[in-house]
Amino acid sequence: MVTGLLLRSFLKLQDVNLGFQPDHLLSVSIELPFERYGSGNSSLLFFREAIERIEALPGIESAAVGGAFIGDHIPNYNVLVERQAGLRQENVAVVGDTVSDNYFETMGIPLLRGRNFSAHDPSGGAVINKMMAQRLWPGEDPIGKRFGRSLPGTDISLDTTVIGVAGNILRNGRESDAIPAYYTSARRLPWWLNRKLVVRTAADPTTPVAPIREVIRSMDRTIPKYEVTAVEDLLYHLDAQRRFQLQTLSSFSVDVVSLRKAGQ
């Protein structure tokens, strides 16, 4: 009976809406060497060129800067929020991501209100998710409102303006919860060393893995680490503990049945 309940729970888990479309999606993790990309806008130019080259490959629909998954540790920030009644400061777990213009389309994340990033945006524009809008601007329209965040004990200022609201996503798999999140344009941050790309493919996502690796290798053979992984494989590993529990209980049930039969 317990095994049956666990199995039904696991099957139900597979139907959970992640808020994005994981099929035909690749995660490309790249670590750039500091010696070559630790200053100026060299890393920004690298990722722009990488996106252009990857999108030119056969079977690729789009590519963008931005990570589908993050670590489990989400720090609390002091968030200063502009509201109709005035300024309000709250301590809230919120995550930020730096993305390129076509990130939401590539991920399959719906834009619910407002607009996406463009080349004409001010440097302080941000798209927030639905949960952040509900958490920090309950009953209000967040579009055009300003906010700022900082770690406890550091200065904070209203340096970011909401330009859009996107759907929530489950960043750590089907058993995780949506959390307040905001996205800023890649133009705002001149350089990064460790970034992820997301790549939407037209067919089997494993087909362009080798060509994507070759693109990165051809751009700079000194890059110490880069990984290309199907997002559905990442989800499979995130579900590993639940599958292990199911397999363990199934094996235990089989052993119990065998012992009962042997004792008859």
Lowest mean pLDDT among 6-15, 182-191, 201-210: 6-15
Mean pLDDT rounded to a whole number for the chain: 82
User: Tokens 């696991």 label which residue?
Assistant: 10
pLDDT band of 27, cuts 50, 70, 90: very high
The pLDDT-based confidence of 11 (bands split at 50, 70, 90) is: very low
Longest Cα–Cα distance in the chain: 79
pLDDT digits (tens, 9 = 90+) for 44-63: 889 999 999 999 999 999 99
- Smallest CA-to-CA distance from 132 within 122, 143, 124, 121 is with 143
Q: Is the pLDDT of residue 125 over 60?
A: yes
Which residues lie across from 92 on neighbouring strands? Answer: 77
**What is the token pair recorded at 110?**
């719906």
Nearest to 91 by CA among 76, 105, 108, 81: 76
Which tens digit of pLDDT belongs to each residue from 73-100?
Answer: 577 888 999 998 889 988 888 988 889 8
Which pLDDT score is estimated for 10?
43
Q: Report the DSSP beta bridge partners of residue 166.
A: 111, 129
CA distance 173 to 104: 18
Measure Cα distances from 51 to 46, 91, 224 in Å: 9, 36, 19
Q: Decide: helix, strand or coil at residue 197.
A: strand
Percent of the chain with pLDDT over 90: 47
Contact 78, 156 (CB under 8 A): yes
- Average pLDDT estimate for 120-136: 89
Q: Is 124 exposed, middle or buried (0-12, 13-18, 19+ CB in 10 A)?
A: middle
DSSP string over 88-143? EEEEEE-EEEEE-TTHHHHHT--EEEE----TTS-TTEEEEEHHHHHHHSTTS--T
Alpha carbon of 236 to those of 33, 73, 223: distances in Å? 30, 20, 28
Structural domain boundaries in the chain: 27-240
The predicted structure's pLDDT at residue 14: 53
What is the DSSP annotation of 201-256? ESS-TTTTHHHHHHHHHHH-TT--EEEEEEHHHHHHHHTHHHHHHHHHHHHHHHHH
